[in-house]
A and B are shown apart, each in its own frame.
Chain A
Amino acid sequence: MTTSRSARWFQLLVLGSLLAFVWLWILPRIASTGAVQNHLRLLDERNINAGAMFYTEVQEQR
């Protein structure tokens, strides 16, 4: 089954808009909830990079 060129661009637009909605609307609202804010504050205070892939990216080891 082949999809037309315009349909494929439409898919990209829809999925791209969905990502933008999650990042610009949903995630900021999650960040403003009490429990998440507390945890974010703890990480900020301890200077922890929770997204670190290797130990050299973790502040604790600097």
Chain B
Amino acid sequence: MSEWLRRIFHHEDWLIVLLGAAVLCASIGMVQLPSESGSTGAEAGKAKVVNLVKGKIAKLEQWVDNPLRSVMSEPSADPKQKSYQHFPALVFTWSLLGVLLVPLAWWKGVRPREYWIGVFALIALGTLAFVMASQKVIKQYNYEYVLWALLLGMLISNTVGVPRVIRPMLMGDSIIKLGLVLLGAEVLFGKLVALGTPGILTSWIVTPVVLVTTYWFGQRVLKMESPSLNMVISADMSVCGVSAAIATGAACKAKREEISYAIGISLLFTSLMMVVQPNFVLWSGMDKNVGAAWMGGTIDSTGAVAAAGAVLGKEAETIASTVKMIQNVLIGVIAFAVAGYWSVRFNDQPGTQGVGIGEIWRRFPKFVLGFVAASLAFSFLLPAVGIPASAIDTITKDSVTPLRSWLFCIAFVALGLETNFWELGKYLKEGKPLALYVVGQAWSMLLSLLMAYLMFGVLYADRVKEILAK
């Protein structure tokens, strides 16, 4: 089976793109659109899009002192409300993950025994990581599940070690690529118009400028040894934190330790900034709309932006979240550009000199094409063939997003199981990556504040208020 699959898919990325496309097509197929002929008048107005997968992919509940609450509801007086109602969704999700990993395991020639034990270990640790991330205080400070997935993996690999039978299933890089193809479907270009010109200008001018200048600073001034670490830190700091680190890390083939380090540093600063920045806005008397746009452009992580915006009020939360969402959409363009730049600029095969079209194509990470194709299909193709926005909304948010989260979670468990703690320590000792992050973030804060003031405080202040009033 392995040889057969390898003959068809010379490059693993093509198998991943096909697998991602199959998942996305199945997600579309699971949505029932309201029939135009079957209902009329008021009935037609009430007709809703039905997603058969909604609620089937497990999302763990938040808990305070009892971790079982993440998978079991409080006992209820209603006999229909079972406390173990989340269990079917968990079993469905685990089974789905197991099925999705079968083609990848076949391609890599993993034996059945290794597959079963490896999948069980990844899913068990992944579920535990989600339970840890669902603790309310942890969630409040935006310490996302990927951090706990990495930590659990590293805890095992750096103490008792990883059993030999599990090692063939440690295919974190491949699972991340599959998750990224699904993430492509969440990158909807239609979202760009949400705040109009001020939102686009704030997010789409500052972000690339900060990314390019920070990367340049890392290479030319700090003289960082690893360009890929430089790029991953520059991207997670300037675009959208963990998701950008994962996407650019895969696009520039960064080492797993580099992605882990960039994620760690980003989450640490995010938890600080989401507390300090809104309080600074309040203390300084800054216009709240300007402050919200500033936070949306600078705080790395999306959830943290919403939480920080909420401190300033409902309108500020909307502005901050929307600026961040527009910035999120940039992740597709950045990942494609980084993959292209790396294919031209960096050679992974010693002795190969030319960089003709053929060579660039050979080096280009093919999964990025799946990522971009998914984004274009969900942004333009599906609306063009008459699939309504509400259907695209439920496909992405109720099917694709939860499945992608589980894929990232088990992928980071696998990366953690392959990560040597002392390799991470090397980056801590050097100090340059930390300096890069701090200087880049300071630069980002300065430029974002300037642009937020111009757009939300001067040029489009009235227009923004009009949009919010609607």
Contact = CB atoms under 8 A, between A and B. Distances in A.
Given A23-B132, A54-B240, A56-B401, A49 B156 contact: no
B307 interface: yes
B328 A54 contact: yes
Contacts of A62: 393, 397
Interface residues of B, number: 53
A55 B185 CA distance: 12
A8 B160 contact: yes
A36 B136 CA distance: 10
Interface string B1-24: 000000000000000000000000
Interface in B131-176: 132-133, 135-146, 155-156, 159-161
Contacts of A9: 159-160
Interface in B380-421: 393, 396-397, 400-401, 405, 408
B307 A54 contact: no
A58 B311 CA distance: 16
Interface in B232-278: 240-243, 274
B155 A53 contact: no
Given A53-B405, A57-B401, A12 B139 contact: no
B144 to A, nearest CB: 5
A50 B141 CA distance: 7
B135 A56 contact: no
A60 B303 contact: no
A23 B314 CA distance: 31
Contacts of B400: 56
Most buried by A among B138, B307, B317, B324: B307
Given A8-B160, A12-B160, A43-B140, A27 B135 contact: yes
A19 B147 CA distance: 14
Contacts of A5: 160
Given A12-B160, A28-B64, A50-B140, A42 B397 contact: no
A40 B67 contact: no
B430 interface: no
B348 to A, nearest CB: 29
Interface string B90-108: 0000000000000000000
20 contacts: A19-B155, A23-B67, A31-B137, A40-B137, A43-B140, A43-B307, A46-B317, A48-B306, A50-B141, A50-B274, A51-B133, A51-B142, A51-B303, A52-B301, A53-B242, A53-B303, A54-B240, A60-B317, A60-B318, A61-B321
Interface of A: 5, 8-9, 11-12, 15-16, 19, 23-24, 27-28, 30-32, 36, 39-40, 42-43, 46, 48-58, 60-62
CB-based closest 10 A-B pairs: A52-B303, A28-B65, A50-B307, A55-B325, A12-B159, A51-B139, A11-B159, A56-B401, A56-B186, A60-B321
